[in-house]
Amino acid sequence: MTGKSIGILGGMGPLATADLFRKIVTMTKAGCDNEHIRIYIDDNASIPDRTAAILSGGPDPVPAMADSLRKLEACGADCIIMPCNTAHYFLPQLQAMTRVPFLNMLEAAAEACARRFGGKTAAILATRGTLATGLYQQALAARNVPCLVPDDGEQGALTRVIYEGVKADAAPETYRADLEGVLAGLTARGADYFVLGCTEIPLAVQLLGLRQPMVDATTELARAAIRFCGYQIKEPALPQ
């Protein structure tokens, strides 16, 4: 064991933060408590909404994110991970503030797409803010992975799933039709599989018991963090 530790810059949202922590613990090959990775979590739910900041001039989330970063640095974290895809738009600003490396969720997901599905077509399920940045599209294009994005109606349905569904702790059946409709529409347009590019989407998929081919960005970030710390990944991983 290398003794490296993980800092989770969380709260975006709290359930997504808990999901990432659970996946790291569940996927780490360990025979007892003492063989697990040390993890520091700052679950700062007061960080302003990232999509609002990107699209409509909402409050800048970077100061609150930087406050969390400083706390994780003080704990001694050897790497920083953020369970929020949209927040990665601000990652270059945060990385410039510290020598502690950030692990990039979008890059990890894109690498998994290329490795698992080759040249098949991915559909990106993400917030309006994430898609507006083009970061997923660029990461996939760099690996020659073709992709589709939701149309306006599908994006509206996804927004309801994320904000009115998972973040609001609504009953899963209240957003089943929205999410299944998005998957069906993108499949009809040529999607072979789906990139779960918002950290609330894997939670919705799990609660609804959906089984389409998918790449879960949260799972791929967990894998990247486990490897960074020098630990082995326990396979099979959580269902995706």
> What SS3 class is residue 41?
strand
In 10 A of CB 32, how many CB atoms?
A: 6
Lookup result for tokens 């406050």: 67
Q: Would you put residue 56 in left (φ > 0), alpha (ψ -120 to 50) or beta?
A: alpha
Separation in Å, CA 28 to CA 19, 108, 217, 235: 14, 17, 17, 9
- CA-closest candidate to residue 161, choices 194, 120, 119, 114: 194
- Catalytic machinery residues: 84, 198
CA end-to-end span of the chain, whole Å?
A: 28
Which phi and psi (to 5°) does residue 30 adopt? -150, 140
The residue type at 66: A
Report the alpha-carbon angle 149-151-118, nearest 5: 20
User: Are residues 103 and 224 in contact, defined by beta-carbon separation less than 8 angstroms?
Assistant: yes
Q: How far from chain centre, in Å, is Cα 223?
A: 12
Say how many CA atoms lie within 13 Å of 17 toward its Cβ.
Answer: 19
